[in-house]
């Protein structure tokens, strides 16, 4: 079975500062990894995904994430955040089998402070 741990439930950061949102996963098989963002009162939208190949993945809105197999991590980073990045961020893992079911972490609420 797969599981995902997001180590920080809330992350406040000043505008234009860098941010890192942490994600660790547990799985006995190879996985696909995803980061989704949820803006207030909206559904989730994909930020980026790791399927294979380069371990550094670039996504939308200037975000990137690095897959580290030895540490079973997939941390999300942005070098300079904007007010509009205030949202909840979810890390998810898929076990590459069956119906591509996703297992989500509990989310990290990023608040960008002016």
Partner 1 sequence: DAGITQSPRHKVTETGTPVTLRCHQTENHRYMYWYRQDPGHGLRLIHYSYGVKDTDKGEVSDGYSVSRSKTEDFLLTLESATSSQTSVYFCATGPRQGLEEQYFGPGTRLTVT
The count of C-alpha atoms lying within 13 angstroms of the C-alpha of 18, restricted to the half-sphere facing its C-beta, is 5
Piece in contact with partner 1 (CB under 8 A), picked from 16-24, 58-66, 70-78, 104-112: 104-112
The count of C-alpha atoms lying within 13 angstroms of the C-alpha of 101, restricted to the half-sphere facing its C-beta, is 6
- Choose between 55 and 80: whose C-beta lies nearer to partner 1: 55
**Binding flag, residue 106, partner 1 (CB under 8 A):** yes
Tokens 């898929």 identify what position? 94
Q: What part of residues 37-56 is at the interface with partner 1 (CB under 8 A)?
A: 41-46, 49, 51
**Binding flag, residue 74, partner 1 (CB under 8 A):** no
8, 22, 24, 32: residue in contact with partner 1 (rule CB under 8 A):
32
- Choose between 98 and 114: whose C-beta lies nearer to partner 1: 98
- Choose between 15 and 72: whose C-beta lies nearer to partner 1: 72
Q: How many helices (H) and strands (E) does the chain have?
A: 0, 12
Environment class of 77 (CB within 10 Å of its CB; exposed 0-12, middle 13-18, buried 19+): middle
d(CA 33, CA 64): 13
Task: Provide the binding-site residues for partner 1, judged by CB under 8 A.
Answer: 4, 6, 32, 34, 36, 41-46, 49, 51, 90, 96, 98-107
């Amino acid at each position: 079975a797969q599981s995902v741990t997001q180590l920080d439930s809330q992350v406040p950061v000043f505008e234009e500062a860098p941010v890192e949102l942490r994600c660790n996963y547990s799985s006995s098989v190879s996985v696909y990894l995803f980061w989704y963002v949820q803006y207030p009162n909206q559904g989730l939208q994909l930020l980026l995904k790791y399927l294979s190949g380069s371990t550094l993945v670039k996504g939308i809105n200037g975000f990137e994430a690095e897959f580290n197999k030895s540490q079973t991590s997939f941390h999300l980073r942005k070098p300079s955040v904007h007010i509009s990045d205030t949202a909840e961020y979810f890390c998810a893992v898929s076990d590459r089998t069956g119906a591509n079911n996703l297992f989500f972490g509990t989310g990290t609420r990023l608040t960008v402070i002016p």
